[in-house]
Chain A
Amino acid sequence: MNEQTNNLISLEAEVTEDAKEQLDAIGKWSVYSAVIGFTSLGLTIISTVATLNKVSEYGAGMRAGAGLFQTFFITALSLLLNITLYTAGNNIKKGVLNADQGFFNAGLRKLNNYFKILGILLIIVLSIFLLAFVFGGMMSLFR
Chain B
Amino acid sequence: MSDYNQDQLTQLDVQYDSDAKTSLFNMGKWARFLCWAIFIFSILFVFIFILAATVYRDYLGDVIPFFNEMGTTLFITIGFGIIVALSIYLSAFYFLFNFSTNIKQGLLTEDTPTINTGLKSLKTYFIISTVLSALALLINFFSTML
Instruction: Please give the residue numbers on chain A whose beta carbons come within 8 Å of chain B beta carbons, in ascending order.
Output: 4-5, 7-9, 11-16, 18-20, 22-23, 25-26, 29-30, 32-33, 36-37, 39-40, 43-44, 46-47, 95-96, 99-101, 104-105, 108-109, 111-112, 115-116, 118-119, 122, 126
Contact = CB atoms under 8 A, between A and B. Distances in A.
B18 A9 contact: yes
B107 to A, nearest CB: 6
B30 A112 contact: yes
B141 A43 contact: yes
A19 B17 contact: no
Interface stretch (B53-61, B62-70, B129-137): B129-137
| A interface, over-half SS | helix
A29 B130 contact: yes
Contacts of A30: 126
A11 B136 CA distance: 42
Interface of B: 10, 12-27, 30-31, 33-34, 37-38, 41, 107-108, 110, 112, 115-116, 119-120, 122-123, 126-127, 129-130, 133-134, 136-137, 140-141, 144
B34 to A, nearest CB: 6
Contacts of B31: 115
Contacts, number: 129
A36 B123 contact: no
The 10 closest A-B pairs by CB, nearest first: A29-B126, A22-B119, A108-B23, A115-B30, A9-B18, A33-B130, A112-B23, A13-B16, A8-B21, A104-B14
Contact of A40 (B27, B122, B129, B137): B137
Given A11-B21, A109-B19, 7 more contacts: A11-B110, A14-B13, A16-B116, A43-B137, A43-B140, A99-B13, A122-B34
A37 B27 CA distance: 21
28 contacts: A5-B25, A8-B18, A13-B16, A13-B21, A13-B115, A15-B14, A15-B15, A19-B112, A19-B115, A22-B116, A26-B126, A29-B123, A33-B126, A40-B140, A44-B140, A99-B12, A99-B13, A100-B14, A108-B19, A108-B27, A109-B23, A111-B27, A112-B26, A112-B30, A115-B31, A118-B30, A122-B34, A126-B37
